[in-house]
Structures are given as C-alpha cells and as structure tokens.
Structure 1
Amino acid sequence: MVIVLFGKPGAGKGTQAPRLAEALGVPILATGDVLRAALREGTRLGLEAKSYMDRGALVPDDVILGIVKETLQSPHFANGAVLDGVVRTVPQAEGLERVLAELGRTLNAVLVFDIDDEEIVQRISGRLVCDVCQTPVTGGEVGAPCPKPGTSDGGHLVRRKDDEPAAVRTRLDVYRAQTLPVLDWYQAQGANVRIIDAVGAVEDVTDRALAAVGLPTGGSGRPA
C-alpha cells in the first residue's frame, strides 16, 4: 500500500506517519531521510544531489524523484510506503505518479490532515526549547528555566524564530500558494483523497486515518 500524507505545516503528519506505518506494516519514506541515505551511501544520484547542495542550490525534482524511485525498488519497501514530505508541488506529484507507474505500483490514498490556521499557529508557537540543551517543551513559558529533569545547564525556554506566530502565518501563506494546488491536482486526477480531522488527541486522529484507509481500530489508535 502506498499512501501520501498531506497537510499544512504543523498539522501532525510527522506524528501520524510512524503510527500509520506500523499499522499498515510498511516503512516511512521521507524525502530528507532518503536524500541523506543516498549521500551517505554515495550513490550516483546521491553524488549528483551533493553537487547541487555543495553550491547552495536546491536539488532538482528529477534527482529527488530518482532517489525515491531507487528507494521504492529496495526489498524494504516491497509492501509499500507511507510517503511523508515527498510531494509538495504539482510537478512533484506528477513525477511521483510517473515513478509509481514505472514501478507498476498504485497510489492507494492521499490522506489530508485538516486543521484550522489559528489552531496551527497556537500549536507551533507553543513549542519552546531550552536555549542551552535544546530540549523541546510544549506548554511552557518563554523565559522559564529548562524543565529537563536533573539539568543544571542554566538554560531558559525560548521560541525559535520560525515558530513565532508571524513566521507561522507566513509558512501557511506559502503552503496555500505552493502546496495546496497539489490537492486540487490529485482530486482532478480522481485520486482517493481522504480528509482527516486533525484536531484532537493523537490516538483519535490515528483512528480516523486508519478508518480512512479501511483498517479497523480498537479505539486507541491501534488496529483492532
């Protein structure tokens, strides 16, 4: 089974990906992970990607998709994959469709994690880190001492600049301009697009996603 995860930044794709992958019995395929693996292993496409990165340029879609194709051909992905962050633009969606066709595979579903913008802003801007040890904290206060048990680093909680409310809203604007058209493209292609309510407890969102792909759940985020 091949599933694409889709949604706004902070919608919970990264949280849900491993839960869905475990339930489906397939691995996660994330662009960053496969790119790093190709670089580490020194594959032809990995070296090509490195040539772009070394001069500060973006790695072209055809190189990334080539690495994705090689990855999907490995035995580890024989039963499918949960694709997280692979499709961010319409050309990438079109490219992935070609890759899957060349491999004789089908995209089974596009799961769209739906959440209101202001909920996203509150969720992301609520993420703080210690300015010394970088321990992440949710629900703390800016300037409070680092709550890590046993720490004595003298650190205090701060909010990263890209997690400030204004920065989050800018990221959401970019999503609407560059990434949201992908959803329109998939719907126009007749893909199995399923909208998942991403508000609520993590386990509840997992249940909704599993139900959307036809898996029963036990009401706790795990298959029944």
Structure 2
Amino acid sequence: MKIILLGPPGAGKGTQAAMLVERYGIPQISTGDMLRLAVTAKSPMGVKAKEYMDAGNLVPDEVVVGIVRERLQEDDCAAGFILDGFPRTILQADALNEVLSDLHKQLDAVISLQVEIESLVVRLTGRRSCLNCGKGFHLQYDPPAADGSCTVCGGELMQRDDDCEETIRNRMEVYQQQTAPLEDYYRKQDLLTVVDGMAEIPVVQETIVTALQGC
C-alpha cells in the first residue's frame, strides 16, 4: 500500500501516519524528520535546509527529491510506504511520479487532512520537546510537569524555531499557495480522499482506514 498524507503543518499527519504504520506494517517516510536530522548534524545540506525551515519556506526540490528517492529504494518499502510531508508542490508531485515510475511503483491513495488555520496556530505554538530524551508535549493538550520540565526525565523543554506564530502563519500562507493545489492534482487522478482533520484522532483514523479499503 503506497499512500500520501496531505495537510498543512500541525494537521496531524504524523500522528495518523504512526497509527497507519502500526496497522499496516509499512514505513512512514517523513521528509521533515529526515531534514531535521541533517540540521542537527550540521551537514552542508542541513545548514542550507535550516535557512529555509527557520523562515517557514520550502527546502529546494533537488534536496527533498533526492532524499525520497533513496528512501523508497530501501528494503522496508517493498510492501508499501506512507509519505508524510512530500510532495509539497506540483513540481515535486511530477518528480515523484518519475521516481515511482523508475522504481516500478505507483500510488494507491492520497489522503488530505482538512483543518482550521487558527486551530493549527494553537496546536503548533504550544508544542514543546525535551532536550534530553526527545519526549514531546503540548502546553494545552499534553502539558509537561508543573515546573515546565519533562515528566519522563526532568529535562529542559524547548520550542522549535519554526513553531513561533509569525513563522507558522508564513508556513500556512506558503502551504495555501504551493501545496493546496495538490488536491486538484490528485483528484484528477482519482486518488484523493478529503478527511476532516478536526475530528477526534480515532475518528480521523477510522475514516482514513475506510478510504483505504480495497487498496
């Protein structure tokens, strides 16, 4: 089963992808996570990617497409995959089609999570993660300890640079301009299912699973 999850930052793609991984036993491929690892390692690619990510802009296609091509050739993708955060533009979607064709693979479904922008701002500005163990929190929905520390190891929490409100709103604008058109792109290929991402997490998951039946 080869799936794309679409939706703006904070729509819940990562959460839903993790649940699909457990259900179907196929890997989640998050280009965002791969790019952040490069940033942490301060590799030449990571340093360049950080400039774009901190400003809320998209990382250049040649970087992202190359990462995805290599990942799809790994053994654990033989039975399928879940692409989370890619493609983000029509050009990337065209490039993905070429990659899949080269690898003799084809998409089964594209799921687009729909959410309200103001709700996304609340979701993203409240995110925190532990500098020591990496545990994630949300100030409103999954709060840390009363003193603001990690409930697992007591470590200090941090907010990602790209989770400040100004950057988030810029990311939303970029998404509407460059990524939202992918809905029509995949609708024309009869691959798109639109899902209400504002529903409870289990409801969203079951809606996705229903849409994937027969894939």
Give me the TM-score of the superposition, normalised by structure 2. Answer: 0.74
Distance in 2 between the 1:108 and 1:7 partners? 18
| 1:151 Cα offset (Å) | 6.8
**1:144-200 deviation per Cα after TM superposition (whole angstroms, max 9, x unaligned):** 6225348777x6x77656434443222211111121122222223x24100111113
SS of structure 1 residue aligned to 2:104: coil
Q: Using a 3 Å threshold, how does the CA distance of structure 1 residues 54 and 186 change in structure 2: closer, same or farther?
A: closer
Amino acid at match of 1:112: S
Q: Which protein, 1 or 2, shows the higher relative CO under an 8 Å CA cutoff with sep ≥ 6?
A: 2
Distance in 2 between the 1:150 and 1:82 partners? 29
| 1:137 Cα offset (Å) | 3.2
Q: Using a 3 Å threshold, how does the CA distance of structure 1 residues 210 and 184 change in structure 2: closer, same or farther?
A: same
SS of structure 1 residue aligned to 2:181: helix
Structure 2 counterpart of 1:148, from 136, 147, 150: 150
SS of structure 2 residue aligned to 1:178: helix
Amino acid at match of 1:88: R
Question: For residue 41 of structure 1, what is the aligned residue in structure 2?
Answer: none
| 1:130 Cα offset (Å) | 7.1
Unaligned runs of 5+ in 1: 39-49, 216-224
Distance in 2 between the 1:4 and 1:89 partners? 13
SS of structure 2 residue aligned to 1:107: coil
Percent pairwise identity: 38
Question: For residue 168 of structure 1, what is the aligned residue in structure 2?
Answer: 168
Q: How many residues align?
A: 199
Q: Using a 3 Å threshold, how does the CA distance of structure 1 residues 193 and 22 change in structure 2: closer, same or farther?
A: same
Q: Please tell me the root mean square deviation across aligned C-alpha atoms, in Å.
A: 3.5
SS of structure 1 residue aligned to 2:10: coil
Question: For residue 53 of structure 1, what is the aligned residue in structure 2?
Answer: 45
Larger Rg computed on CA atoms: 1
1:22 aligns with 2:22: yes
SS of structure 2 residue aligned to 1:29: strand
Distance in 1 between the 2:37 and 2:160 partners? 28
Question: For residue 219 of structure 1, what is the aligned residue in structure 2?
Answer: none
Q: How does 1:1-224 map to 2 (within 5 A)?
A: 1-32=1-32, 53=45, 56=48, 61-62=61-62, 64-128=64-128, 136-140=136-140, 145-149=147-151, 162-188=162-188, 190-214=189-213
| 1:213 Cα offset (Å) | 0.6
Distance in 2 between the 1:139 and 1:111 partners? 28
Contact 2:133–2:153 (CA under 8 A) maintained in structure 1: no
Q: Using a 3 Å threshold, how does the CA distance of structure 1 residues 100 and 158 change in structure 2: closer, same or farther?
A: closer
Q: Using a 3 Å threshold, how does the CA distance of structure 1 residues 180 and 148 change in structure 2: closer, same or farther?
A: same
